Chains A and B, each alone.
Chain A
């Protein structure tokens, strides 16, 4: 956002600027064309051919000017022909217009990339266990040993270490029990990946260390041989967000190889020892892995498909998987082969049998059947069992080959790759619930409920949705939803002009994002789950570093905690410094960006890009003007005010906050003016003064509730809400009448999306 120089002429409709004296295109059409071509170009008795085609506006204008009206061609002015061409092109003629006019419907969708990866992880996880996240046990289990061996008899201390960040100097960690020249430590537990992507893990130590992530057999970092002066070891690994991964870190301050300690008469001199365990979450700076992402509970191994997929289409604002490409199909082939190889390599564990066992074939067949069932998210029909299992076992020379083929076949089948959007069986309901809330496949309780007929009523579906919402996979999906809602899912570049904000380091920017995420999580998962807190809460999460920057008194090394920061001036996300900084320039605030942000995300209004790129007025050219005055000057022309009349005031309400979201009373020696009016849908202007008052005015308008319902539905379901009949109005009504409870809304969205079409028909379908 910061780097965008487009601003200015946001047009609300499809008609372009009225730059010449032409008549309005719609009026011309109505007057001169509709009588033959129909009100919407559908044609008439004499002229049944609908007005649709592939001509450009220019081609269309020339054609119209030359040939229309049919009884008197050439009588339309060129300008009129142009404006009518523009009108029909945008209203119904062009392919885009037709697409826009098509009634929304629930479309067959393939798995999104995230769904594919999660589904494969959970199919395999269903045989070996799926980790759950226990946030009540932060940190890692640590065991300290008095020499180089990890023997119980040599263990001198067991405790929980919140993070791994130690500098012992030349001392021992447990001086009374350990000699300083030789000791070893093992940390155990899990690490939670907050999002999907490439993670870099970093171990810093002067001594030997080994780090295991996910795979308990193969270290991700093996620095057990200390060699030369290296003290920093890095490795990257692709992790799926919303899952705990097993983590083990071993440290040794000892010589390896031949144990010559008994031959030595004197104890060697103790060298300095320290260790730090850090990571780089995708798109963030390196940091010590925080305790909140660590748990002392171990996790089963997760199979993460390494194959790269082409990115999903997000052009409509949410991931929509209703198109495919050859590249995607090839990726599914690669990923299926990768998975098949993984399965076959661990067949003994997956099938619970040994290669030479009597019942090997039987066990493999049973495993394969379950694998295919889980991939298809339901029991197999006889026909499917025959095709996907029996035939493979009958034609492959050995059961192992049959497994490889069956896994490949199942993962390439449309029965796995597509989600039935309207199937009526209980298993279809279960599959949709799992896709909506987890982007994955049903777990055992859900499959059991389906099998036992316990997904028949709305209450039963709701009960499952409520249960599933507590899973870390749901939390992760909801967090992504909220970041999407706030238009910061892709972390924006927050670097600021060092002349003005020298202390605004990348670490501060990264901490701000954490602060925002903690707040979002707190609102959704905390007491009441009240949406209104998003807009009105007067506290903020700060750690020591942020507290210093924003002028709050906290110890420098304090972890994140909720504190009051200018409570009389701040209001939830509206004034969260991360967003204020994201929607600002490097040196100055940007009321326009902030106004557009509020319009689009909080109010859910659609704005189009201005047809012309306009460079912002440089502050230097108007040294006396405040930001507000400068923006008012730039957008004063009448053609700007259509949109900016609505956008700018929202941003003016936040002028108390500079480009890094710090509170200010004045700018350039002039008092901040944060008084403005909110233009509601009825065209009335509701006055407000500053962020808190703005938040209340917005809430009172009712627009944020509707916008949030849309956002939740689209981010979770990935289908147009308009296709679900009265669901939108029903959800909004429920949401507002239930104290804007977010968790209840999420559950209701899942219920609507998962219910069978017959259930939905009962919801007074107006389509």
Chain B
């Protein structure tokens, strides 16, 4: 299941994940290519979001959860789900953008620099410079440059989501996780986010969970199809949608079930 000869950013090896006794992700192995977009698709409850949240250890916040296997981050071979690795370190290296835009009820500026503040950065000039860079990176700068001190909730839903992307980009993560980032947005805002995601892969490796198969086809380089916790098929996006090797994949991408 390794479609790639490109340099790798991470390797997922025999990952299992449990909520209590509930086995949610089953023995998944896949390679994440550097500066590419890898999409995770599959019907609701297939474990794609659960697998995504293993990458930044969000499950550590829920009691009675357990990881098995390894997600090795290159080039330093850190095991993202290793119990000896501090989840805070992981979250500082692997950013996340959520399903619903979730800016803090603070100013636009404070939202963007929050990650830097957590890292102890106090130099105002540097914070401003990074904020501008991140907002330019998320194509929001021109819309908000005159009102950085205004509440983030004054922005539209699509702008809020781009603000959340800027907030994640400001700390220059190595991997950026997207958990259905457009499911709460209208088609125009969705398109803006998709264009943005396709653009920022120059700077960061991207993993995206999506319900929308057209979206996966439009933006991703590789796609993984998951079903009932198993990774059914993982291939170049083009191949997965047009030449699926597995019957389940073929049925799913042709819309026979969902």
**Do these two chains really belong together in a complex?**
no
